[in-house]
Amino acid sequence: MPRITLRGDCINKAYRPHLNNLHRYQIYFGGAGSGKSVFLATRCVLDTLRGRNTLVVRQVARTLRNSCWNEILKAMNQLGLNRLFSVNKSEWTITARNNGAQILFAGLDDVEKIKSITPARGALTDVWIEEATECAYTDFKQLDKRLRGLSPHPKRLTLSFNPIARTHWIYKEFFSIWRDDRVYSESPQVSILKTTYRDNRFLTPEDRSALENERNPYYYQVYTLGNWGVAGDVIFTNWRCEALPDPVPGECRMGLDFGFAADPCGFLLLRYERKERRVWVIGEIKETGLTNLALSRLLAPYASLGPIACDSAEPKSIAELRSLGIRAYPARKGPDSVLHGIQWLRQQEIILSPACAYLREELTRYQWQRDRDGVALPRPRDQDNHLIDALRYALENDMEDRRAQTGSKKALGL
């Protein structure tokens, strides 16, 4: 490896001890703006010059270019090491000229590519999963198995993320060694470092002010303080991410919530297993600015799978979709349909495809309203719910006893 001298201030103090961290499983979590990704990109550059081969992944491949790829290129530039690397933008590879070691990039939405990807020289020594809370447990296990083969370097699997909820598989898998009154814990196999914006000396005063003045309690806990999200007012905790089977015509449910400008249009494709009380959410669409013609083109691939239950508040849009070949029909809704739907969904097991990032965000943030005294009310906040509405529409015919009483707090678990 070329002799490289790093300035003492180029890496935030909290991360410096982890430049040579050799734990098999490394967790870097905490608040927004804490510098996790910048540090790991910098370490990745230096490790490649040492001969380590790293696979960098996110759930969706297209999100890599504006995140990890750019961070690693910036790290090379800021360290003044560009001349030591060959960058192939078309194949998404970065190769160290001194030893042939590589940084490779892939999305977990391309399973076959993940299975076949391999460095040009030597074995894969590192996997870095950015935004690891988007990753399904089964994908994590597959990535762990990729770390095999002879190498002078110990194998490492690194996860970086903002924490969302303690129900996540990452918490269950690794955080038995964690104490909330600490910022670092380790075992022979696992190391966990928590950081927040306070650990990042490179933030601007405006960045700090935005985080410190966050008014949403959940966002403040997760993105400002870096704490695992506490269910609290969150309505749905009965969900998890998992790799799902392909849709089967005749067994699918589909729901559509209309939107255009500020409010997005939301569509879900799912299956329901009545006996097991299990909802499988297979696919999603969430976009703004869609005309009905543009929307019909996005829905066309699903047309053969069955009819689509739509928000009945827009009969004109439903009629137009039908004229464009989409089997759209109005959901019945009715009095208390929102609360009844919520109560029913809370009694099901909801399993999301890892690709359904938008619905995952809605489920994480969908909360009960509170009165002026802070007491939870038996009605949800009318925000962060476009795909949740589509979920209710899709399953409307599966909801038994539509006359169920839903107004009591006891029935809703409040």
Neighbours of 263 (CB within 10 A): 12
Torsion angles phi and psi, residue 27, rounded to 5: -115, 125
How far apart, in whole angstroms, are the C-alpha atoms of residue 174 and residue 187? 10
Q: Would you state the structure tokens that stand for residue 226, as one six-digit string?
A: 């870096």
Burial 144-169 (b: 16+ CB within 10 A, else e): eebbeeeeebebbbbbbbbbbbeebb
The overall pTM is greater than 0.75: no
Cβ 316 vs Cβ 389: under 8 Å? no
Question: Which structural domains are found in the chain, ordered by start?
Answer: 13-224 (3.40.50.300), 239-398 (3.30.420.280)
Neighbours of 407 (CB within 10 A): 11
How far apart, in whole angstroms, are the C-alpha atoms of residue 281 and residue 241? 9
Neighbours of 135 (CB within 10 A): 22
Task: For Cα atoms 277, 283, 287, give the angle at the middle one, nearest 5 degrees.
Answer: 130
3-state secondary structure of 308: strand
What is the mean pLDDT of each successive set of 10 residues along the chain, which is 414 residues long?
Answer: 72 95 98 96 96 94 90 94 95 95 91 81 96 90 91 97 84 89 94 97 95 85 86 76 72 93 92 92 94 96 93 95 96 83 92 87 83 71 90 91 46 48
Between strands 308-310 and 328-330, the pairing is parallel
Cβ 267 vs Cβ 287: under 8 Å? no
pLDDT at 1: 66
Cβ 96 vs Cβ 47: under 8 Å? no
pLDDT at 298: 96
Q: How far is CA 160 from CA 39, 83, 95, 371, in A?
A: 11, 28, 23, 36
- HSE (side-chain half, CA atoms, 13 Å) at 164: 25
